[in-house]
Structure 1
Amino acid sequence: MYQQPLQPVAGSLALSAACAALPLLTLFLLLGVVRARAWVAAFGALAVAVVLAWALWRMPLAQTLLAAGQGATFALFPLVWTFGTAIWIYRMTVHTGHFDTLRRGFARISDDRRIQAMVIAFCFGSLLEALAGQGTPVAVTTVMLLALGFTPVRAATVALVANTVPAAFGPLGLPITTLSGVTGLPATELGMMAGRQVPVIAVLVPLVLLLVVDGRRGLRELWRPALACGVAFALAQFATTNFLTAALADIAAAFAGAGVLLLVTRRAARRPVPAPAGDGPPEHAVPSERGASPERAAAPQGPPEDATPSPGRAWLAYAPYVTIVAVFAVSQVPAVKRLLDAGTLAVSWPGLHVLTAAGAPSPLSTFRFAWLAAPGSLLLVAGLVTMALLRVSPREAGRLYGRTLYELRWAVLTVVGLLALSFTMNASGQIATLGVWMAGAGTLFAVLAPVLGWLGVALTGSDTSSNSLFGALQVAAAQRAGLDPVLLAAANASGGTLGKMISLQNLTIAAAAVGLSGREGDLFRRMFGWSVLLLALMCLLVGLQATPLLSWMVP
């Protein structure tokens, strides 16, 4: 039995925290400075974490490797299972020519790519986050933007920026219920508090999307519709979390944001729409797209742009995504959910026996195999329905799935290394050491609380995982500092949303979806500044909520 030490280096918490940060520093330096391939960065950081766990934290080498193996298994199921199946569905729509019909359908909503980015990446992506999560919104919306004519880098960056604020409440409130489970605080109050933090950032996300797509010109020309979309989205999140349930927050926000945006833009006077800066000139395109599939290269092919598809063909173009939404919605019906959850197997990971620093059994020792309820399994059901609707033969569908996995091989390797790193740092106690050191800031910890959530999501790619990792620590720190535990626990979820855009898991999914495997470092550098800027705003908001100035916002 291994018990996690909090200050293994010379009995100093500060020195121990400095050492615990080395794997993360290695990851960011290799990715953002050295510009190494993502899988090299992930396994380089993993090597550092393994050495530290064994040499400094004194975790037996066998158990260290077992923890890494558990993380690698979790990467394959459910993560690779989820985004691989999502991209497979997209491949079928491209193969049958229906994706081009879908592209023109979205183009008819608005011929302005800046509006398309907000409708698809922000609103539709939020709906997918509400129902599926685990990289599905990034995988789906990235390829949709690519088919609309966005360059690969721009499509990926737009999808990554948009997949932030929905993460606090999706899928279906799971991050909040998980936070409640690990902290013992009421899920209702946690949802209400997060619903008074995240919407403030949600107002700004459409404005950031305008800057990403078209720079200052886009902001100058479309700030009113973008602000209307963000305000509608934010109000829906606030109202749903405070008066209904956090599980429905992203669904309501997605429809509210899209509805208001389309209403405002259709009322605006028609005028020529300029092409967003950077989507045409070759210097903004990625030099190499060798990873792009033949189907993706052929995506723009099809009937002329002014051709109007028949109602039947138009329906078939939307059918795969309607099917995805329908399958995930049905899976949340209480009776169906109980049936799916009954298939979940919870097993103790062989040979991994870990106690937390407090002496309690670590939840990391248990592996949950939700083979029915996993998003990838539900996406498989949607894929089988799509096969039938689009008349794709089983042999052809199998060939497309095999090609998808082959093209994602480097992305799969990256995610395996990343989750092995996460589980190694968690099991050895390196993450706990970092958290306890930060909690020593006393009352100033209110400003730093979102940073913990941000780090957790940047490392694991999941707000749910970050909440399970740091939720209890946030409450303990709040109690020691005399702060409101609901405020700091919710701040973990809220700050975590801003780590989504620099999460290597999401970066890898986005890069793989548009054939840019190996260019994750480029995406990271584009995302890092926005992530830190929005995180600073969240830290300021939470800090003020801990003072009499905004304490009235705490339920």
Structure 2
Amino acid sequence: MWFQIYDPLGNQWLSAFVALLPILLFFVSLVYLNLQGYVAGFLTVVLATLIALFVYDMPLTNAIGSLIYGGLYGLYPIAWIIIAAIFLYKLTVKSGYFDILRESIIAITPDQRIQVILIGFCFGAFLEGAIGFGGPVAITAALLVGLGLRPLYAAGLCMIANTAPVAFGAVGIPIIAMAGALNFPALEISSMAGHMLPPLSVFIPFFLVFLMDGLKGVKETWPVALVAGGSFALIQYLTATKLGPELPDIASAVVSIIVVALFLRIWKPKNVFKFDEEVGGKANVENKPNYSVGQIILAWLPFVILILAIIVWTQPWFKALFAKDGALNFLVFRFEISGLIGIMQNIPVVPEPKAVNSIFTFPLINTVGTSIFLVAIITMIILRVKVSTAIKTFGETLNEMKFAILTIALVVGFAFISNYSGISASLALALAQTGDAFAFFSPVVGWIGVFLTGSDTSSNLLFGGLQQLTARALDIPEVLFLAANSVGGVVGKMISPQSIAIACAAVGLVGRESDLFKFTVKYSIIFVIVIGLFTYALAMLHKNGVIDLLAITTS
């Protein structure tokens, strides 16, 4: 057996500084050296492995086992979910029905303030829930430019609108990945995030209008902003706390779009706002295609089926079929990674030593990625996409995703070797010495993580272990800090270099990334400070016995 060491240099802060070096290298590689994500990930993995071997005295077989487990987990189920989701989206584009879906939203109102709410906030959240990973901002920003918005505004507004849904993006993978890596119930993290995010979800539509048209615009559109944000927040809360992390974005977005569309049948703003009448005025209204109700229903049908499929996949009775004594257990493959056998966690804040998980589980059917892939097959049939086109589309998806998949595998590998070597614990034990003040900095850590990686998933994997162990050291429910990492990360998305690059490319602003960064950075900082204060307040209320966070997340 090998017991993890948490203070290899005899000084907790010095050990924590060495443990921080791989994260600093990742930051420098992305921000200053402008390296590709997979290159930065590879260099970070190499440095983390060297530190694990020569500073933390981790046996080579254990280090290799950690990297293998992390890489496999990055490929399946994480990358599989992303591949299936993007494949489904591409099939709707290839069929031509995605244009109908898009136009069904655009046709609802000519007011660009409300179009930004519908497309940037509601539809962007829908895309975030379905595909995530940069796609929503690129698609929605391009749509808004096509409707007459100035490119910088379109990109900036979509970046800000994309905050509320990020924690549950790509069918909940940020929370699912962190829960899997830490062996913590995903529903509990989802439930806590579901309590923390709704106020932000209500606020965002108002804030978008304020940025476009000031207080005058808010006064003129507050009813529809309240309907959009309120309906979104309500469904986000219900699904996140009752069903888990897979559905909140998709369900909230669909309900919000429907409710806003119905509300606009009985209410209109007194003044129709457009940035530029020549670009966004008559032409768009006059050239609007006329689609039948049947065509619109068919365009939305794949995503309705997706919602139903995910509901089934998350039900206890369905999961029970694949349990060890379930009828379909033979479709779940489990194998032990020998390199992980014998690693013992002996963290001071944990009552007794515990062996790390060395069993890798490969659920062939019982994973969200497979449910999405099956929906994609159904979509191919109902939208009459040729088999040859679908095969070609799947190949295109794999080709476009190859570097993203490699980056994910490397980042998850780094997360696992950090957790299994004791590196994360070193950082956590040092930060725990800051006392209760860490409750404020908990979401800031997630914010930094998303800034560095461009992904709430990657941030959760990088810092989930740190958050968990620090919470234990401070005697605060770890679910609060785990959720705070993800919630803080959502407002880091709007300043992530990767997200900014994607948004600029989508609206033709390549080379003006600094302008977009200046547009969003001040709001990102304000948001994360507010979230930090909110997290600190929750932690202190729990410690003083005013509220019971554990009861909230497990009820």
TM-score (normalised: structure 1):
0.75
Q: Is the 8 A contact 1:67 1:420 kept in 2?
A: yes
- The answer to whether 1:366 aligns with 2:359 is yes
2:345 to 356, 380, 386: 356
- The answer to whether 1:339 aligns with 2:321 is yes
Alpha-carbon deviation of 1:232?
A: 4.7
Q: Is the 8 A contact 2:202 2:230 kept in 1?
A: yes
Summarize the alignment of residues 244-259 of structure 1 with structure 2, pairs less than 5 Å apart: 254=253, 257-258=256-257
Residue-by-residue CA offset, 1:390-441 (whole Å, 9 max, x unaligned) = 1112222111110121122222222222222222222221111111211122
How many residues align? The count is 515
SS in 2 for 1:421: helix
Q: Is the 8 A contact 2:442 2:484 kept in 1?
A: no
- The answer to whether 1:489 aligns with 2:479 is yes
Which amino acid is the alignment partner of residue 337 of structure 1? K
Alpha-carbon deviation of 1:106?
A: 1.3
| Cross-structure match for 1:542 | 535
Q: Is the 8 A contact 1:114 1:276 kept in 2?
A: no
Q: Is the 8 A contact 2:100 2:291 kept in 1?
A: yes
Which amino acid is the alignment partner of residue 354 of structure 2? A
2:414 to 409, 421, 442: 421
| Cross-structure match for 2:465 | 469
- Shift of the 119–491 alpha-carbon distance from structure 1 to 2, 3 Å rule, reads farther
Please give the alpha-carbon distance, in whole angstroms, between the structure 2 residues aligned to 1:269 and 1:53: 61
**Worse-superposed segment, 254-263 or 59-68:** 254-263
Q: Is the 8 A contact 2:163 2:493 kept in 1?
A: no
- Shift of the 204–197 alpha-carbon distance from structure 1 to 2, 3 Å rule, reads same
Seq. identity, %: 27
Which amino acid is the alignment partner of residue 357 of structure 1? N
| Cross-structure match for 2:148 | none
| Cross-structure match for 2:131 | 136
- Shift of the 241–418 alpha-carbon distance from structure 1 to 2, 3 Å rule, reads closer
| Cross-structure match for 1:309 | 291
Alpha-carbon deviation of 1:75?
A: 1.9
Residue-by-residue CA offset, 1:282-325 (whole Å, 9 max, x unaligned) = xxxxxxxxxxxxxxxxxxxxx99422123333232222222211
- The answer to whether 1:28 aligns with 2:18 is no
- The answer to whether 1:145 aligns with 2:140 is yes
Residue-by-residue CA offset, 1:242-287 (whole Å, 9 max, x unaligned) = 8x6767876775566556655665513353331489x99xxxxxxx
Alpha-carbon deviation of 1:122?
A: 4.3
- Shift of the 395–410 alpha-carbon distance from structure 1 to 2, 3 Å rule, reads same
Which amino acid is the alignment partner of residue 3 of structure 1? F
Residue-by-residue CA offset, 1:494-539 (whole Å, 9 max, x unaligned) = 34222146579x98799789987x99x9899987665543232122
| Cross-structure match for 1:274 | 274
SS in 2 for 1:272: coil
- Shift of the 176–55 alpha-carbon distance from structure 1 to 2, 3 Å rule, reads closer
SS in 2 for 1:58: coil
- The answer to whether 1:198 aligns with 2:197 is yes
Summarize the alignment of residues 82-93 of structure 1 with structure 2, pairs less than 5 Å apart: 82-93=81-92
Please give the alpha-carbon distance, in whole angstroms, between the structure 1 residues aligned to 2:531 and 2:364: 36
| Cross-structure match for 1:498 | 488
- Shift of the 187–327 alpha-carbon distance from structure 1 to 2, 3 Å rule, reads closer
SS in 2 for 1:399: helix
Q: Is the 8 A contact 2:209 2:218 kept in 1?
A: yes
* Structure 1: runs of 5+ lacking an equivalent: 281-302, 480-484
Please give the alpha-carbon distance, in whole angstroms, between the structure 2 residues aligned to 1:329 and 1:468: 26
Q: Is the 8 A contact 1:138 1:160 kept in 2?
A: no
| Cross-structure match for 1:164 | 166
Please give the alpha-carbon distance, in whole angstroms, between the structure 2 residues aligned to 1:218 and 1:73: 50
**Worse-superposed segment, 529-538 or 42-51:** 529-538
Residue-by-residue CA offset, 1:347-366 (whole Å, 9 max, x unaligned) = 32232232213331113x33
**Worse-superposed segment, 104-113 or 459-468:** 459-468
- The answer to whether 1:387 aligns with 2:380 is yes
Superposed CA RMSD = 4.6
Please give the alpha-carbon distance, in whole angstroms, between the structure 2 residues aligned to 1:469 and 1:265: 46
| Cross-structure match for 2:39 | 40
**Worse-superposed segment, 106-115 or 351-360:** 106-115
Please give the alpha-carbon distance, in whole angstroms, between the structure 2 residues aligned to 1:178 and 1:420: 13
SS in 2 for 1:367: strand
SS in 1 for 2:107: helix
